[in-house]
Structure 1
Amino acid sequence: MDRKSGTTEPQAPHSVKAQIPANTSTVMALFMGSIIAAILLVLPAFAQTDAQPIPENASAKSYGDGWKCNIGFRLDENACVAVVVPQNAYDTNRSYGSGWECLHGFRKTDEAECVAVEVPEGGFLDPSGERWRCLRGYIKVDDTCQEIVLPANAYLVGASHSSSWSCERGFEETDGQCLAIEVPANAFLNGSGYGQPWTCERGFFEKAGLCEAVAIPANAYFDDATYGTGWKCDRGYVASGETCQFINVPENAHLDRTGNRWKCDKNFQNSKGQCVLNN
């Protein structure tokens, strides 16, 4: 309306009416696009189900694609068949392995059966329940437990799975028997499991199966080494055959660490049994 004249002027058509069809088309296009995208996402799942249907007694895996047989069933080609538990066995309720195990005292065979473990006389059932062992005092021979016959002066040693015997102290095994060890005079039994079973007393040495006294010369002392003459010369003496001779230490010399030889002092050298200045 014109303020001066008081009349109303005609208005041009409003632009909103022209935009309505355009907005409607955009919304419809977005809506249809969402439906198509949802259909595309669902189609592979339907296609997979149609291609690999889950058989009876099976369920889809908790992760990844595919399916697995339920507990108590095992895959046989493309089907899940029930686990057949043989006699004397129990169901393990596990999804892996055979699905069953033999009861204690039975063992599995190649024919998928559980047969009783036959324990021979003198044996006992192993804690595993699948095999047997021989009692102490018996030894396994093939499928039997044979009693160990102890010779005189012997005793059992070892565990039940490796029973054997050993001779008493003072005896040694010879051809399956325990014979007395002949200990010579001036000797005693030792604890060695090999070699000479006796040792000569101190002051004696072994010679030709006997213990002979060590003859210690003058200026010597007994030496208990397992080799040698059985004696050593005192300090300042040197062995000469079966005697100990006094050592004449030349001038500018001294006894060495052993005490049975001499050597020149520092800055001196040996020359024909004398110590001369080393210039």
Structure 2
Amino acid sequence: MAGTPANAHVRPYGGWACNRGFRRLGGSCAAVAVPPGGYLDAAGDDWDCERGSVRSQDACAPVEVPPHAFLEPRGRSWDCERGYRRVERACVAVAVPPNGYLAATGDRWACERGYRADGDRCERLVVPAHAYLAGTGNEWECERGYRREGGLCSAVEVPPHGHLNASGHDWTCARGYRKGSTCAAVVLPPNAHLDDAGDGWSCDPGHRRVGDACAPG
């Protein structure tokens, strides 16, 4: 095709494109200058660096991997080995205190069950009466029927017509009673019934609420 420059080919639907290893520069195709440690990318009109090096202007510079580190999967950067953490451009050993262990990530520590982190130490967790170690064992919770008050577990005082709620650390009233400082009976006016929550009332069909009463209508 007339007008097609060197190192180019005619496109199926008209026009032209540069061959692999060349890039379009105005009306011609210029060779892609691949530096040492580089390779042509998938499109063929640019270059990228091999694993272990990164692009720096028109060259491929090696990734400087410090001691106790390794190249990350793409090879463009590095990560510290397990037991080390990154501090600027170095890998520093994780100082695990007594009663501690390396966390799953490998770059920090956590305290064993029954201990709690306090600065750079693991302090024994003091579990009060009527409490137990919860979750990972670095915290405590009160048993059912007790609530946390400061560093102690105090019994939940359930009033008549009340019961422990789902959490077990507070109380709620039985159906037909309303919670206050105690459980007070819900007073139903004529032509009323307990509502769905059970601590209030609604008027029967054919009646409407007027103040504290149910009137026809």
TM-score, scaled relative to structure 2: 0.70
- The answer as to 2:6 corresponding to 1:87 is yes
Number of aligned positions between the proteins:
187
Q: For residues 223-266 of structure 1, what are the alpha-carbon distances to aligned partners after superposition, in whole Å with 9 as ceiling and x for unaligned?
A: 23799xx2222223333443333445444333333333334434
Indicate the RMSD between aligned Cα atoms, in angstroms.
3.1
Q: 1:136, 1:105 → 2: CA distance? A: 20
Once the 2 structures are TM-superposed, how far is the Cα of residue 141 of structure 1 from its aligned partner?
0.5
Contact 1:124 1:135 in 2 (8 A): yes
Q: 1:275, 1:108 → 2: CA distance? A: 84
Q: Which has the higher contact order (CA 8 A, sep 6+)?
A: 2
Q: Which amino acid aligns with 1:245?
A: S
Q: 1:262, 1:109 → 2: CA distance? A: 79
Q: For residues 39-67 of structure 1, what are the alpha-carbon distances to aligned partners after superposition, in whole Å with 9 as ceiling and x for unaligned?
A: xxxxxxxxxxxxxxxxxxxxxxxxxxxxx
Contact 2:49 2:60 in 1 (8 A): yes
Q: 1:182, 1:235 → 2: CA distance? A: 38
Aligned to 2:146: 237
Q: Which has the larger radius of gyration?
A: 1
- Identify the match of residue 259 of structure 1 among 153, 156, 168: 168
* Secondary structure, aligned partner of 1:130: coil
Alignment of 1:1-279 (within 5 A): 72=1, 83-90=2-9, 92=10, 96-97=14-15, 100-110=16-26, 112-159=27-74, 163-192=76-105, 197-224=108-135, 230-268=139-177, 275=183, 277-279=185-187
Q: 1:120, 1:239 → 2: CA distance? A: 67
Once the 2 structures are TM-superposed, how far is the Cα of residue 170 of structure 1 from its aligned partner?
1.3
Q: Which amino acid aligns with 2:23?
A: R
Unaligned runs of at least 5 residues, structure 1 = 1-71, 73-82
1:96–1:203 distance in 2 versus 1, CA, 3 Å: same
Contact 1:221 1:233 in 2 (8 A): yes
Q: Which amino acid aligns with 2:142?
A: C
Once the 2 structures are TM-superposed, how far is the Cα of residue 219 of structure 1 from its aligned partner?
1.9
1:126–1:249 distance in 2 versus 1, CA, 3 Å: closer
Task: Name the structure with the higher strand share.
Answer: 2
TM-score, scaled relative to structure 1: 0.57
Aligned to 2:195: none
Q: Which amino acid aligns with 1:149?
A: E
1:218–1:121 distance in 2 versus 1, CA, 3 Å: same
Once the 2 structures are TM-superposed, how far is the Cα of residue 95 of structure 1 from its aligned partner?
7.0
1:213–1:235 distance in 2 versus 1, CA, 3 Å: same
Task: Name the structure with the higher helix share.
Answer: 1
